[in-house]
C-alpha cells in the first residue's frame, strides 16, 4: 500500500503570514500533486511535479508556490496567506503509465487563515 504523509495535519495562520505544507511519499513515485478540497468543488489541482526539481502549475496556482527538492518531498508554500486559502489540502503521488494510474492520497492538512 502506498504511503503518503503530510504535515502539519492542522494549521492556524494569520493573514499575510507564510505557510508551508509538507508532503512525503515513500513509494518512489515520480508524480506528486497538491489539491485543495472545498465543499461543492471537489478537489482542485494547485501544483504538480514530475520529479525532483520540477514543479508545474495546476488549475488554481495563484497565491501558491511549490517545491520538489527530492523524489520523496513536495511542499506547498503560501507566501502571503489569505482567508480565502482556508481549506483542506491533500497531497497525492502516482506513477502513471505503469498500469497503476491511480493516485494515492495523504491524510490532508486542515488550514485556517484568520
Partner 1 sequence: GEKVEQHESTLSVREGDSAVINCTYTDTASSYFPWYKQEAGKSLHFVIDIRSNVDRKQSQRLIVLLDKKAKRFSLHITATQPEDSAIYFCAASRSSGSWQLIFGSGTQLTVMP
What does the binding site for partner 1 look like in residue numbers (CB under 8 A)? 31, 33, 35, 40-45, 48, 56, 58-59, 90, 94, 96-97, 101-108
Q: Is the peptide bond before 76 cis (omega within 30 degrees of 0)?
A: no
Nearer to partner 1, 44 or 65 (CB): 44
Nearer to partner 1, 10 or 82 (CB): 10
In sequence order, what E strands does the chain have? 4-7, 10-13, 19-25, 31-38, 42-49, 56-57, 65-67, 73-78, 87-94, 103-105, 109-113
Nearer to partner 1, 62 or 97 (CB): 97
Provide, rounded to whole angstroms, the least separation between the CB of residue 113 and partner 1. 20
Nearer to partner 1, 17 or 22 (CB): 22
Provide, rounded to whole angstroms, the least separation between the CB of residue 47 and partner 1. 11
What is the rounded CA–CA span in Å between residue 44 and residue 60?
7
Q: How many CA atoms lie within 13 A of 110 on its CB side?
A: 1
Provide, rounded to whole angstroms, the least separation between the CB of residue 26 and partner 1. 16
Amino acid at each position: 500500500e502506498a504511503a503518503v504523509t503530510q504535515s502539519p495535519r492542522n494549521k492556524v495562520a494569520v493573514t499575510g503570514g507564510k505557510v508551508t505544507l509538507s508532503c512525503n511519499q515513500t513509494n518512489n513515485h515520480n508524480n506528486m500533486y497538491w489539491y485543495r478540497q472545498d465543499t461543492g468543488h471537489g478537489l482542485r489541482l494547485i501544483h504538480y511535479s514530475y520529479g525532483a526539481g520540477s514543479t508545474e502549475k495546476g488549475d488554481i496556482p495563484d497565491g501558491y508556490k511549490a517545491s520538489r527538492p527530492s523524489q520523496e518531498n513536495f511542499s506547498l508554500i503560501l507566501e502571503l496567506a489569505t482567508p480565502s486559502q482556508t481549506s483542506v489540502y491533500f497531497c497525492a503521488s502516482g506513477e502513471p503509465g505503469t498500469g497503476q494510474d491511480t493516485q494515492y492520497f495523504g491524510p490532508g492538512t486542515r488550514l485556517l487563515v484568520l
